[in-house]
Amino acid sequence: MRRELEILERLKKAYPGARIALRFENPLQLLVATILSAQCTDERVNQVTPELFRKYPDARAFAEADLEELAEAIKPTGFYQQKAKYIKEACRILVEKYGGEVPKSMEALLELPGVARKTANIVLANAYGLVEGIPVDTHVRRLSQRLGLSRQKDPNKIEKDLMALIPREDWAVIPYVLQAHGRKICTARKPKCEKCPVKDLCPSAGEYLA
């Protein structure tokens, strides 16, 4: 079996329940939560969103929100003033162009403020079951480089490399097994290579085990 596929299979076995960590009940909530997750942990986002979604139950409520109040509500997620602008403007577009609904196409999602391919991929796959690519967050980027799956630094280029290596039927699961592995074993500062199920396949393991 090709090295990349063996890595994927072992990680799938190690993290059989790997799935998106953000909590949401509909596509709009997932869109907002994903925008908030930029430069912020999913855990922190999940602490903020229950009250946020009670206060702003739909796209129109976000679009008509007082910007300062919205920013204050999401302050714990960091970069809150910019995120508030993104959310308010994105929801204004949703109301005006899509009847308040989140569109089901990559092209339409990428027109929304604060939405790049990572966010669009997450929304399409987890809200609509439409897998068009692989979302690349900080964990996926770090592990892709350490495992030798990509030498690129740009998320869009890493995504292209992963899409070329990984069978399409696994595009939906690979970001979440990589995230789970990144949180538990292959951490940013001090990876626990001695406990890693793919250390014999990892070109970086020797550097950290030495």
Catalytic sites, residue numbers: 118, 137
First to last CA, the chain: 28
CA angle 35, 40, 41 (to 5 degrees): 110
The whole-angstrom separation of Cα 161 and Cα 163 is: 5
Task: Find the radius of gyration of the CA atoms of the chain.
Answer: 18
Question: Smallest Cα–Cα separation from 32: which of 11, 55, 4?
Answer: 55
- Measured CA to CA, the distance from residue 95 to residue 59 in angstroms comes to 6
Cα(43)–Cα(21) distance, integer angstroms: 8
Q: Note whether 186 and 196 are within 8 A (CB).
A: yes
* Alpha-carbon gap, residue 97 to 169, rounded angstroms: 32
